[in-house]
Amino acid sequence: MDVNDYNMNQIKVIEIKKSVFAENEKDADALRSELKGKGVFLLNLMSAPGSGKTTTLIKTINLLKDKLRIAVMEADIDSDVDAVKIKEATGIQSIQLHTGGMCHLDAEMTRQGLDGLDLDGIDLVILENVGNLVCPAEFDTGSVCNAMILSVPEGHDKPLKYPLMFSVCDTVVINKIDVMPYFDFDLEKCTEYIHMRNPEARVIPVCAKTGEGVENFAQWIYEQVLNWKN
């Protein structure tokens, strides 16, 4: 790695190029096999803008970093604020992926990001996808599993409006439960709507700000990685 790869915040920034592969599914399967060979578990984390992905990740990583060696890729159209936050708050390896306006990551774009990480000894890479409930759901990134965050202020009707996103996620973290009293959010109804899209989905209510419930998300990730390794 060259010092020129890093920006003024000492964050490595990778400008992602558009994929040339027409068949993303095949490419995603190939990437999954490669990562399996290296013992690296890839988790794809998605959500709408402002649902609290980065704060949730920080709390989760701090619960897991003594048990797993973790690296993070923060995808964003622009800016490096998330990668800076992760690095400062957790000390783990964190890089920023710039999509240059693109609304999602596919497997080849994910691979470009992975190439910028030092994967030696890493157990778990978490990809924080672009904040968007539509396009990222359509593209397999090569991850072993997908999780998403829905925050209370967004409303409990989102599984009705963004069906594919809720179908492709194994776990839905419900964030910002501390503000539940100020919003018309029905957790029971939300869970019912999520299970209409994916009957197997796990629903984990948390408050990333205070840390409440985050241990359940961390535990879920830990179990996924252990089961996959064995």
Enumerate binding residues for its own copies (CB under 8 A).
48-50, 76-79, 81, 101, 103, 130-135, 138, 151-155, 157-158, 160-164, 176, 178-179, 182-183
What b/e sequence results for 174-196 when a residue is b if at least 16 CB atoms lie within 10 Å of its CB, and e otherwise? Answer: bbbbeebeeeebeeeebbebbee
Nearer to its own copies, 108 or 128 (CB): 128
Q: Report phi then psi at 193, rounded to 5.
A: -65, -40
Strands (E), the chain: 12-15, 41-47, 70-76, 93-98, 124-128, 145-151, 171-175, 202-205
Q: Element (H or E) spanning 111, and its range? A: helix 107-115
Which of 12/158 has CB closer to its own copies? 158
- CB nearer to its own copies: give 193 or 222: 193
Our CB check for its own copies shows the closer of 6 and 182 to be 182
Nearer to its own copies, 78 or 223 (CB): 78
Q: How far is the CB of 155 from its own copies (least distance, A)?
A: 5
Min CB(48)–its own copies separation in Å: 4
Residue 27 buriedness (CB in 10 A; 0-12 / 13-18 / 19+): buried
Residue 49 C-beta: closest distance to its own copies, Å: 4
Indicate the residue type of 135: C
Phi and psi dihedrals of 45, rounded to 5?
-110, 125
Minimum gap (Å) between residue 157 Cβ and its own copies = 6
- Residue 151 Cβ vs its own copies, minimum distance, rounded to whole Å: 6
Choice between 129 and 224, CB closer to its own copies:
129
| HSE toward the beta carbon, residue 90, CA cutoff 13 A | 28
Least Å from the CB of residue 145 to its own copies: 22
Q: Nearest to residue 168, comparing CAs of 204, 191, 141?
A: 141
